[in-house]
Structure 1
Amino acid sequence: MLTAPVRLLGDTDRASVERLLDLEPYTGAQVAERIAAAGLSRRRQDARIFGYGSRGHLESLCWLGANLIPVRAGSAAVAAFADLIGSETRICSSIVGDATAVLPLWERLRPVWGRARDVRECQPLLAAETAPMVAADPAVRLVRPNEVGLLYPASVAMYTEEVGVSPVVDGDTGYRDRVADLVRGGRAYARFIDGQVAFKAELAVITRHTAQVQGVWTAPQWRGCGLATAGMAAVVADALRRVAPTVTLYVNDFNAPARRVYARCGFRRVGTFATVLF
């Protein structure tokens, strides 16, 4: 039995949803981008969006699709979402978002969903509002459409290293299509050395509030040479100039080299994410 009012949201709720997402410009960015592009109708989204609260006062959201993403969810909302979602077979490949919602939600879902492959409980959420003081690498640029074939192996290597499994299963082309979409959208950056990717990063999420960077990777043979700091400085400067008023990202707390890079580029901590991987 539900502990509080939860309902499936639709396009008639869009104004209320957008007001709530404006209150969470960083932690709600992944959901905000998708709703801005396609609204809330399940006919246009490969996901369901649930709301917690009365029709006149929407308090929290929960996106349920390939990812499970709670937004602005306090303890009562977490309990209500868990009651609803826990009655279904798991379809998502991860739970991601603000740690204060993700971790309690996982505690409630774990008895019915079983063990996760990995739980990353502390991922500092970082933001930058001004161009970095460090010098940007002038060789870092947007990847061109005819360079997808060069970027793709680096993207697979980054994903496999970060997540622990390959994004390519039985020759599936879905991940390559994702990489190509990022390139076509002017969201993929790289530095090429001798025809190979030495550094790369993408603007995986873009809203009117922020551009969220993901997929940051330096080729193993170029690590420790300063490419990541100069490359990130170039990405942040271009994103602030061309795309959004802030740049955000989240990073595993144990990734000390990456955290040093982001600190040099002027990022400050604005919250904490958590990710549960299945």
Structure 2
Amino acid sequence: MLTTRHGVRPLGAPDLDAFLALARREPVVNVFADYRATTTNLEPRWLGGEMWGRFVAGELTAACHVGANLVPICATADDAAAFAERALARGRTVSTIVGPQEPVRAFWNGVASSWGRPREARWDQPHLEISTPPHAPIDPYVRRTTKSDMEQLYPACVAMYTEEVGVSPEWGGGTELYRARVAQLVSRGWSYARFDDSGRLVFKAEVACATPYAAQVQGVFVPPEFRGRGLATAGMAAVVELVRREIAPVVSLYVNEWNSPARAVYEKVGFRETARFATVMF
């Protein structure tokens, strides 16, 4: 397949090995892209979009996931600018730009004049990892959720999303799709929670994506009325223990720089910063 200007073209199944070799240069930072590639074989109909690659002298040197999320992979600022030029030709189809800070900023600088004002831009998000047992005591009552937990779990997921993103996932008729996503994570064994003696959910977290190298956690949430009791620290310690034992050896996540309570929790558990992410939301 011929490459376009600046050596950028869509990738497909024949490019999978080259793509995985690229992404696995930074297997934890690129866990989302690795997971998407291996579960879709880079087929657009399964990706729900495209994976673009940039080639230099016939070698894949950078990539960009373009679906609901646009995610640069192993991209320099120059690579991101090349991806931005291609994106301008098709217009904005994504709801979020997210990934390592430098290429996200370079990409945004290339499309900002045409893509309109974002709903929010978060330029400093520490990317955290832990590859050891948790430093804090674990909560022994954190467990995988089941379908029977959905009555408590789903409202907590909606509340977490709304608090974190600033808009409900049910807005605009998204209830069915979001409920299906929560149910999918439950069925995979990627949803964890702790319930009190009366059956109320007091902590939850999910694995968003995973490979043999790493798992990325999302949706960490303690309902407001239960905060300040150490539930998040003990709960996250339990999640780290369970995920490292059952899914992948490294647990990662990214957090807003201004979220001091969450950052304190992750520090107590033993997470360390390894990169900076940025997110632009529409």
Q: Which TM-score band (shorter chain)?
A: over 0.9
Please say if residues 51 and 66 of structure 2, whose CA atoms lie closer than 8 Å, have aligned partners that are also in contact: yes
CA distance in 1, matches of 2:179, 2:96: 20
Matched residues in 2 for 1:119 and 1:43: separation? 29
Give RMSD over aligned pairs: 1.2
Specify which of 171, 182, 197 is matched with residue 179 of structure 1.
Answer: 182
For 1:216 and 1:80, locate their aligned partners in 2 and report how far apart those are by CA, in whole Å: 35
Cα displacement string for residues 127-177 of structure 1 (whole angstroms, at most 9, x for unaligned residues): 000111211001111111211221000000000000000000254300000
> Which aligned pairs between 1:24-35 and structure 2 lie closer than 5 A?
24-35=26-37
Greater alpha carbon shift after TM alignment, 170-179 vs 216-225:
170-179
Mapping of residues 4-153 of structure 1, within 5 Å: 4-54=6-56, 56-153=58-155
> Would the aligned equivalents of 1:3 and 1:83 in 2 still touch at CA under 8 Å?
no
User: Does the alignment pair 1:241 with 2:245?
Assistant: yes
Match of 2:170 among 147, 168, 171: 168
CA deviation string 1:12-56 (max 9, x = no partner) = 111100100111212211111011111112133211010011473
Which residue in the other structure is 1:254 paired with? Answer: 258
SS in 2 for 1:112: helix
Matched positions, count? 277
Cα distance in 2 for partners of 1:98, 1:120 equals 12
Judging changes above 3 Å, is the alpha-carbon distance between structure 1 residues 170 and 70 closer, same or farther for their aligned structure 2 residues? closer
The whole-number CA distance in structure 2 between the counterparts of 1:160 and 1:75 is 32
143-152 or 181-190: bigger deviation:
143-152
Q: How far apart, CA to CA, are the structure 1 residues paired with 2:67 and 2:147?
A: 29
Contact 2:70–2:97 at 8 Å: present in 1 too?
yes
254-263 vs 69-78, greater mean Cα deviation: 69-78
Structure 1 residue 70: Cα displacement? 0.6
Contact 2:192 2:206 in 1 (8 A): yes
Q: Please tell me whether residue 195 in structure 1 is matched to residue 199 in structure 2.
A: yes
Query: Does 1:215 find its partner at 2:211?
Result: no
Structure 1, 251-260 or 38-47: larger mean CA deviation: 38-47
Match of 1:224 among 225, 228, 232: 228
Find the aligned partners of 1:251 and 1:179 in 2 and give their Cα distance: 21
Structure 1: runs of 5 or more not aligned: none
Report the Cα offset of residue 211 of structure 1. Answer: 0.8
Q: Which runs of 5+ in 2 are unaligned?
A: none
Normalised to the residue count of structure 1, the TM-score between the two structures is 0.97
Q: Distance in 2 between matches of 1:55 and 1:243?
A: 37
Distance in 2, matches of 1:53 and 1:106, equals 21
Residue identity (%): 45
Report how far residue 75 of structure 1 moved.
Answer: 2.2
Q: Distance in 2 between matches of 1:89 and 1:196?
A: 45
> Residues 121 and 273 of structure 1 are in contact (CA less than 8 Å); yes or no, is this contact kept in structure 2?
yes
Other structure's SS at 2:32 match: helix
State the AA in 2 paired with 1:177: A
How far apart, CA to CA, are the structure 2 residues paired with 1:9 and 1:144?
37
Query: How far did residue 3 of structure 1 move?
Result: 5.6
* Distance in 2 of aligned mates of 1:76 and 1:103: 11
From the two aligned structures, give the one with the greater helix fraction: 2
